[in-house]
Amino acid sequence: MKLSMQFKNNFVKTLNKSVETNQKPAGGFLIAHFKRYIGKNMKIKIVKQLSLFLICSILLSACNSETSKQQDKYSVDIAPTVYVPDQGVALSKFPSKSNLVKTIKVLDYLDIGGIDWNATSSAKWLTVTSSGLSGEYMTLTADPSLLAKDTLHETNIYLVSNYEGVESIEEITVTLWISASDLPEIREFAASYTHATADPVRPYVYLTDETDTIDIFNLYTGNLIDSLTISNGTGPTSTITEHAISNNGKYIFLSDTANNKIVRIALDDYSDVMTFDNWARLIEFTRVDGYPVLVTNEGYAIDAITGKKFNTTTPILDHANYAISASLFGNRYCILNSFISPYSIDCLNISFSKVDHDISTVSLGDVSHESAGYNGKDIALNADGSIAYIAQGNPYEFTKVSIDDTGVNIIGSLPADAYPGSVEIGPDGQLFGSITSYFGPHDIWIYDKNDSLIKMGYVSEEATVVLDRALTVSGDGSVAVLLTDDPKVVFYRSY
C-alpha cells in the first residue's frame, strides 16, 4: 500500500512523502513514517479529507482494523512554529576586541523553510533583522556608544510569525558588556574545583567541587558574584558533579550523585529550585525541535521542564561512557565511550513530537574501537551537529569527525600535544582544546571554525596540569576557563 501526505497548498509548498508497505495499517502507522512532519507543530487542524484511521493514529496512536480505512492520500493542515537555537546571545566590547555582531539561524518545526517571521526589540542600542523566512538568518548588531562601561546591559528580542495558527512567541535574551580596559592575558586564583560551566548570556562561570556548594564568578572582573548551597532536606548532603545550562541562561541543571537527583535552579534570582527524581551521571541540555531536553548516558532523556523521563528509551551504549555532547540545533548528540581503549563514539539523531510529547532517536552508527584513538577524554559537537572534535590520550591531537545520516567518520585532526583532555566549541564555532602537560610549552589551543590556529598558550605551571574535562568558554567567546590540579582557576583571554 502506498500512503502519501500532502500539506495544504496555501502553506509554503506541497510536500509528498510516500512509503511502501505490504503490511496492514495498524495504530500509529502514519506517526511512525511521517513523525518528522506530524510531530513538529504547535497545532494540527484535521481537515475533512482525513479518514478515521488517520484521526485515530494522531489522537490515540492506536486504531483497530475495524475502524480503520485505507486511503491513498491524507491532507494535514499544520500550523508551524519558528524558533532559534541561540536563545541567549552575549555581546561585548573591549578596547582591542569587539564582539558586537551575531548572526543566528531561524528554524521551524517542519524543517522545510519559508515560514515568515518578524523580530522586534525595544533596546535602542540593538539593531535586529526585522523580518525573514525560516531557514534564513537574523543579524543582531549592538551599538555601545551611548552605554555605560563595565556594566551588563540586557534586552530581549521577540520573534513571532504571522502564519495562521502559530501560537508561540520566541524570546531571545541578549546582553552587552562594554569594558573600559582589555582583559589580562591570564587571571588566576587559588581554589579547588572539579567542574566549570560558563553562562551563555551573562559573563559568569559556575564552579563546583563535588560538594553541595556552587560558586559564581564574573569572568571579566574575577569577582565572586554569589555562592549557593544546595539543600536536599533530610537526604544526604548533596554532591554536585556534572552541570548543564539552558541556551538562554535561564536555568542550570546540577547532577547530585549523593541523592541520585538532578537539581534545577533558575538563575535570575536563584529562588526557583526544582528537584528532578530522575538522575543521570552525564547530562547535556539542548532544545530538540525547540523543546527543552536533557540528553543523558543512562538510556533515557529527561523533560527539562517537568523533570520526567520521556517514554522512548535511548541506547545506553556503554555504562562507562566518559563524555556527552549535544548540538546547539538540538538535532543530534554523541557519547564518547572509553571503557575499552581504543575508545568508541556513538552518535544519534534526535527529534521531538508534540503530538505524543515524546522524543525519538535514530542511531547513526559509531567510530569503532578499531579506528579510534586511545584513552578518550572529551567530545564537542558544532552547532548543527555535523562535526565533532575528540580529545584523547593518544594520538596527541584533537580528532575531527564528520557526522551525517550516512554515518560517523574520522576526517582529520588539529595539532595539539600530549595529552589532550578537553574540547569545547565557542559561540562562533571556534574549537577550544586543552591538554594535561606537566612541562609545557603549551596546554591550550584555539582554532577558528575553519580549523585555522588563532592562538595557543600555557596556563598551568611546571609540574601541574589542566584537569580533564575542566574547560568552558564564555558566552561571547572572549574567555576560556580552565581548572588545574594546583589547585587553581584560570581565566584565559582568547583574543
pLDDT of residue 463: 87
pLDDT in tens, 32-51: 334 444 443 333 333 333 33
DSSP summary character for residue 271: -
- Average pLDDT value for residue range 419-429: 97
Helix (H) / strand (E) element for 53: namely helix 52-59
CA distances to 319, 375, 438 from 314, rounded to whole Å, are 13, 25, 39
Has residue 72 got a pLDDT over 80?
no
- Rounded Cα distance between 358 and 89, Å, is 28
More confident residue, 92 or 370: 92
Look at residue 366 in the predicted model and tell me its pLDDT: 81
Please answer whether residues 308 and 274 qualify as being in contact, where contact means their C-beta atoms are separated by less than 8 angstroms. no
At residue 419, the 3 state secondary structure works out as coil
What the block records as the C-alpha cell of 292 is: 527543552
Neighbours of 5 (CB within 10 A): 20
Other Cβ atoms within 10 Å of 305 Cβ, number = 12
CB 468 within 8 A of CB 376: no
Evaluate if residue 235 carries a pLDDT over 50: yes
Q: 54, 1, 62: which is closest to 30 by C-alpha?
A: 54
Q: Are 419 and 375 in contact (CB under 8 A)?
A: yes
The strand pair at 170-178 and 88-94 is best described as parallel
pLDDT at 339: 72
Find cell 526544582 and name the residue.
Answer: 274
Among 125, 119, 94, which Cα is nearest to 104's?
119
DSSP state of 134: B
Q: What is the mean pLDDT of residues 428-450?
A: 97
If one compares 19 and 344, the residue with the highest pLDDT of the two is 344
* 3-class SS of residue 65: coil
Q: Which pLDDT tens digit goes with each residue over 297-341?
A: 888 999 999 999 999 887 665 556 789 999 999 999 999 988 778
Question: Whose CA is closest to 198, among 437, 488, 484, 472?
Answer: 472
d(CA 458, CA 479) in angstroms, rounded, equals 14
Quick one: which of 281, 275, 331, 330 has its CA closest to 308? Answer: 275
Instruction: Determine the pLDDT at residue 161.
Output: 87
- Tell me, what's the pLDDT at 75? 41
**Numbers of helices and strands, H then E, in the chain:** 2, 43
pLDDT computed for residue 234 by the predictor: 64
Predicted confidence band of residue 344 (pLDDT cuts 50, 70, 90)? confident
Predicted confidence band of residue 228 (pLDDT cuts 50, 70, 90): very high
- pLDDT digit string (tens) for 167-208? 678 999 999 999 999 999 999 999 999 999 999 999 999 999
> 279: closest CA among 318, 311, 242, 252?
242
